[in-house]
Structure 1
Amino acid sequence: MQYREFGRTGWQVSSVSFGAWAIGGTWGTVNDDDSMAALHKALDMGVNFIDTADVYGDGRSERLIARLRKERPSDKFYVATKLGRRVDPHVAEGFTRETLTGFVERSLKNLDTDTLDLIQLHCPPAQVYYMPEVFGIMDDLVKAGKLRHYGVSVEKVEEAIKAIEYPNVQSVQIIYNIFRQRPADLLFRETLARKVAILARLPLSSGLLSGKLTAQSSFEPDDHRAGNRDGQWFDKGETFSGLNYDTGLAAVEQLKPLVPAGQTLAQFALRWILSNPAVTCAIPGGKRPSQIEENMVAGDLPALSSDELAKVRAVYEKFAYDQVHHRW
């Protein structure tokens, strides 16, 4: 496993880390024993950074990570969680001191800790990025010892560019994968200049870039890949990167011949992400140890060559550019 500097925090984190959305829910049936085995496998393979949120299984994901801390007391790993999606109605005016403080207290309890390593505003309404008082509340929570650092998780590049104007934003989490390449155009240049960490979420595009999905694949009713293809539950871009499913499958067929012998498409896709030096870590999810093992191997593989990068870009421009590039 390779490690990279996490913004200005002084942390060194695993380049492939653990995304804990799937072990909380909305990815079909999940078993806590399997989830714990997956978390343990991640630590065994050198992972030292786990990303979760208070809404993943209504706290289930956070509580599993608290259990991991108890079962691996000698392992040092950082936990990033998120807040804000529980604001109801989900409007900017709901991001008050009382509400945000309550969310922090709940995550502290779920994670069974006195101080959160990192908390991220969780895809709030765009207006929030123009409310300096919200970031002032986060600063105050740091001063109070409730959190060490904070960042943002965004839907759109423009939101991230606005967010990093606030001096204490340490990280940006954004969808970045072979089918969502726009963050590299401008955002990454700005985050490198400001030493802001980048967490690449949905690195495998909701499983499309695993190469294991087909036109016949079925998804359970509580799996967002069944219920959110047109944005019925939350932002459409969170499901298959906003790309039409059949178009995504066709693009995958064009990518498969590019994968070197001995690697999987998932590993190739993660290598592509880590080829950009602006990326701090990719955070693929997984509900079983076998998935984790496949993903984490990518953390010790070399970056893609310029020729490989050019061929991937050609696939993106042919299949994904028109559908996604200017939307997010």
Structure 2
Amino acid sequence: MNDHLAQRRLGRTGIVVPAVGVGCWAIGGPAENLGMPMGWSTADDDASAAGLRKAYELGARLFDTADVYGHGRSERLLGHLVSEVPRESLTLTSKVGYFAGTAEHGYHPGHMRRQLEQSLDNLRTDYLDVYFLHHPDFGPDDRWLHGAVEAMRSFRSQGLIRAVGMRGPHRYAPERLQVTGDRTDKIERFGRIFGQIQPEVLAVRDNLLTPASRLTGILELAAEHDCGVLFNKPLSQGLLTAATTSGRERNFGPGDHRSRKRWFTPDAKSIINQGIRDLQQVIGDDPTYLVAVALWACLTRFDDAAVLAGFTTADQVEQNLAALRMRPDDTHIAVARSIMSGVQQQLDGTGEVFVDEHR
């Protein structure tokens, strides 16, 4: 493992990883699930494979994927890397629940076992380091919750997984199409099922466009229970990089979730890009340092946390890992949070009619 990369311990799991891991959603390519686009149309398998190898070469050891990312495509691409390097050098995480296939529910225990077995085959390994429950919908009256928890504990006792993971408060994807300004139900539900699942690792969305209030209580709960934390979407899926300010509009093809997300519309991106330009007036225009500010803004929130940065090219991987070595000045992080908080408030006041989940 590269000694120059800052290391983090994921709570009571004892797993130690470089502070920046590799998110593998985007390399799954375009996909449809639950009647909506849920993939990325800009992926290329050759570029993805090159990016994964570059990440390992530069010291990345944490790789995060899910069964639904390209319906196995992401896992299979990552599996090629797994077959080429010592398995014990890697920390692999995957998720279950969003793809139900022909099962009655994504958390049917038998379906979960079959999906885990398929994920292990795809990844060319006989165990996962962390296996996440991918969403909080356990059916009417939480019909499938107890069975899902028991399945996870069974997987762990059998050595198929090392730790159980759970996502932080968020809405099940189909519910995001509904307009709501009330997060009370989401937070209350998270706290309630946390006690039943007893996760060892939490996956929590955070970036410079995330209001601090959205993390209230979550990190305290993680600390109280010695949970590791993986922050996802630290670059708001590319919106917080200097590359987005070029003025070139990208068209998203079929199966790309960004086509239904309001923060990828021209008006929203214009607001975000102006915020980035304002921030660059303070921190300079080095694009890697901008990424460093964004990543470390997450990492400074919690000691036992790593961030998961996605990619579609090897150059992006190289920039993300270079940014990890550039510990920004605390004043720059504070300024970034202040400026981008104002941007987030502008975005929330644009009057859009559906909910965005990039924050």
Q: What's the offset of the Cα at 1:265?
A: 1.8
Q: 1:193 aligns with which of 213, 224, 233?
A: 224
User: Residue 26 of structure 2: SS of its match in structure 1?
Assistant: coil
Distance 1:303 1:64 in 2: 33
Distance 2:301 2:329 in 1: 9
Per-residue deviation, residues 2-54 of structure 1 (Å, max 9, x unmatched): 11001211111110110111111133332322212211111122111100011
**Does 2:93 match 1:62?**
no
**Does 2:6 match 1:2?**
yes
Q: 1:318 aligns with which of 333, 342, 359?
A: 342
C-alpha distance 298-71 of structure 1, shift in aligned 2 (>3 A): same
The one-letter amino acid of 2:249's match is S
Q: What's the offset of the Cα at 1:169?
A: 0.7
C-alpha distance 100-129 of structure 1, shift in aligned 2 (>3 A): farther
Q: What's the offset of the Cα at 1:302?
A: 2.2
Stretch deviating more after TM superposition (11-20 or 187-196): 187-196
**Does 2:152 match 1:138?**
yes
1:121 is aligned to: 133
2:85 is aligned to: 72
Stretch deviating more after TM superposition (127-136 or 280-289): 127-136
**Does 2:58 match 1:27?**
no
The one-letter amino acid of 1:135's match is V
2:260 is aligned to: 228
Per-residue deviation, residues 42-97 of structure 1 (Å, max 9, x unmatched): 11221111000111111111111211022223770111011111026999x55221
Aligned pairs for 1:41-190 (under 5 A) are: 41-73=54-86, 76-87=89-100, 94-125=106-137, 131-154=145-168, 156=170, 158=187, 160-166=190-196, 168-182=198-212, 183-190=214-221
Distance 2:76 2:97 in 1: 18
Q: What's the offset of the Cα at 1:248?
A: 2.1
The one-letter amino acid of 1:100's match is M
C-alpha distance 229-290 of structure 1, shift in aligned 2 (>3 A): same
* Equivalent residues of 2:296, 2:328 under 8 A apart: yes
C-alpha distance 160-145 of structure 1, shift in aligned 2 (>3 A): same
Q: What's the offset of the Cα at 1:216?
A: 3.6
The one-letter amino acid of 1:5's match is R
Distance 1:168 1:106 in 2: 25
1:236 is aligned to: none
TM-score, normalised with respect to structure 2: 0.78
* Equivalent residues of 2:109, 2:147 under 8 A apart: no
Give the length in aligned residue pairs: 317
Per-residue deviation, residues 117-141 of structure 1 (Å, max 9, x unmatched): 2111112427699534421221122
Aligned pairs for 1:225-304 (under 5 A) are: 226-230=258-262, 244-260=268-284, 262=286, 263-278=288-303, 280-304=305-329
Distance 2:141 2:200 in 1: 15
TM-score, normalised with respect to structure 1: 0.85
User: Residue 310 of structure 1: SS of its match in structure 2?
Assistant: helix
The one-letter amino acid of 1:284's match is A
The one-letter amino acid of 1:212's match is A
Distance 2:282 2:338 in 1: 12
The one-letter amino acid of 1:23's match is I
C-alpha distance 74-193 of structure 1, shift in aligned 2 (>3 A): closer
Q: What's the offset of the Cα at 1:206?
A: 1.6
C-alpha distance 54-141 of structure 1, shift in aligned 2 (>3 A): same
* Equivalent residues of 1:220, 1:226 under 8 A apart: yes
The one-letter amino acid of 1:121's match is L
Distance 1:314 1:211 in 2: 18
> RMSD of the TM alignment (CA)?
3.0
The one-letter amino acid of 2:70's match is G
User: Residue 244 of structure 1: SS of its match in structure 2?
Assistant: helix
**Does 2:235 match 1:207?**
no
Per-residue deviation, residues 168-192 of structure 1 (Å, max 9, x unmatched): 4111112100001334432112212
